Amino acid sequence: MAEMTVRKQRPKHLALNQIRQPLPAIVSILHRISGAGLFLMLPFLLFLLDRSLGSADSFQTFAAIVGHPLVKLLLIGLLWAYMHHFCAGIRFLLLDLHKFGDLQPARTTSRIVLVVSLALTVIIGVKLW
């Protein structure tokens, strides 16, 4: 009875702009967002595939759609989402095999995922623009 438990004052609201996530958490969050984005944009990508393979007229429609600068920007974003999701997926497979799970290797592999996914996006995006 001599011991008294001290209760820590908890905030009444959660200030999301003040929370600092570590880099591996940011990569994990981006992995989920990129996967959801790719899933949600799948009908649009299938529409573009259908337009590109249908006939000569439908290919002209495809070329007109893909030629628009906003669509190009959207496709570059989807390219980044795919590259990030792919690279982060390989990282998570390695983590499941108990490789690079310590603090410093986890931070290093997170940096590698971000750099490689951005580099691949730039390289492939320049080729396709």
At 128 the pLDDT is 85
Domain ranges of the chain: 23-128
pTM: predicted TM-score of the whole model, two decimal places: 0.83
Close Cβ partners of 65 (under 8 Å, ≥ 6 residues apart): 48, 51, 71
Going residue by residue through the chain (129 aa), what tens digit of pLDDT does each one get? 556 677 777 767 777 788 889 999 999 999 999 999 999 999 999 999 999 999 999 999 999 999 999 999 999 999 999 999 999 999 999 999 999 989 999 999 999 999 999 999 999 999 988
- CATH classification code of 23-128: 1.20.1300.10
What does each C-alpha distance from 91 to 21, 112, 113, 114 come to in angstroms?
18, 9, 8, 11
- What φ, ψ does residue 74 adopt, rounded to 5°? -60, -40
Q: Whole-angstrom Cα distance, residue 27 to residue 5?
A: 38
